[in-house]
Amino acid sequence: MSGAVRELFVPASTGALHALEFGRDTGEYPPLICLHGVTGSAWLWHDVAQELGKTRRVIALDLRGHGESYWPELHAYLTDDHIDDLETLVQSLDLPLFDLAGLSWGALIAIGYTARARARVRQLAVVDVEPNFERGEKEVDARPTFFQHRIAALNYERKANPMASDALLDMYAFHSIRPIVGGWERKHDPFFFSCWPFRRDNYWNALREIDRHMLFVHGERSFVRGAVMRQMAASARRGKFCEIAGSGHLVPLERPIELTDALRQFFTTVGSITANTDCAD
């Protein structure tokens, strides 16, 4: 069971950005914007946004090339392009101040945006990402491009995210594919089967320059290195590290309750994280 989810479409440079909206402005906390990673979608944040939406407005964005957002013809998918889209969303919704939470590529976008427009961002949560990469942008692991049946897509997501609940996984898997003749295909630009442009990025310097409170969340079972994320928190001016036990890379999908607890406490009480997670300054 879940509450109402509103869909937003915001005009962008060559198309429209799609977002999901949860909760409402209560005056107690500023809005929260959530960003997913490569080949994901806004629905990844559903359970976290539902809970946090009980006390504030939460907006989960489909990045360009993903979900219901537009696909640029010339594959304009640099992190800076996504930062431009985030700025478009913020201006269209007239958000003078807000919090940010980003997973993976979405976290790099959040860091880059905060470095560019720090006056608008109150606090920032960086979920399971490293600020630079050893593998090149073309070194993308093979993954299915087509499924004959919806259940095949669900089974693939189950294998990739074994700790996710059945209800959330089914919702996420359904919104990650679309019907075509003879089956189902991924609901993102096929470009991402062979290229992840964010592998060009290096955000170490940006992390050191940002003067906002930042929470660095690591999934215990993730391929992202916890030691690197601890170093990120130590490098930031106001950083705190938090590890979610038992979670893989897609923390909002596998451990939404624990992530919600950590985000709620971070965004409502700066510097005080007491959830059932391994958190430290």
Q: Which domain holds residue 129?
A: 6-134+200-280
Retrieve residue 184's tokens: 């189902």
Q: Assess if residue 182 is contained within a domain.
A: no
What is the tally of structural domains in the chain?
Answer: 1
Name residue 240's beta-bridge partners.
215
The angle at the Cα of 241, spanning 240 to 246, to the nearest 5 degrees, equals: 150
pLDDT tens digits, one per residue of 169-208: 999 999 999 999 999 999 999 999 999 999 999 999 999 9
- pLDDT at position 273: 41
pLDDT computed for residue 170 by the predictor: 96
**Residue 81 belongs to some domain of the structure:** yes
Q: Is 222 domain-assigned?
A: yes
Over pLDDT 90: what percentage of the chain? 91
Let me know if residue 63 belongs to a domain. Answer: yes
pLDDT in tens, 236-267: 999 999 999 999 999 999 999 999 999 999 99
Q: Is the pTM of this model over 0.85?
A: yes
Given the DSSP bridges, would you call strands 239-244 and 213-219 parallel, antiparallel or unpaired? parallel
Confidence of residue 4 (pLDDT cuts 50, 70, 90): confident
Per DSSP, the residues of 190-258 read: GGGGT--GGGG-B-HHHHHH--SEEEEEEETTSSS-HHHHHHHHHHSTTEEEEEETT--S-HHHH-HHH
Whether 150 is covered by a domain: the verdict is: no
- Asked whether residue 156 is assigned to any structural domain, the reply reads no
Q: Which residues contact 205 (CB under 8 A, 6 or more apart)?
A: none
184-194: per-residue pLDDT in tens? 999 999 999 99
Tell me whether residue 61 is in a domain.
Answer: yes
Q: How many CA atoms lie within 13 A of 13 on its CB side?
A: 14
What is the domain-level CATH number for residue 82?
Answer: 3.40.50.1820
Cβ partners under 8 Å of residue 133, min gap 6? 198, 199, 201
Mind listing the pLDDT tens digit for each residue in 121-143?
Answer: 999 999 999 999 999 999 999 99
Would you state the pLDDT for residue 13? Answer: 80
> Could you tell me if residue 168 is inside a domain?
no
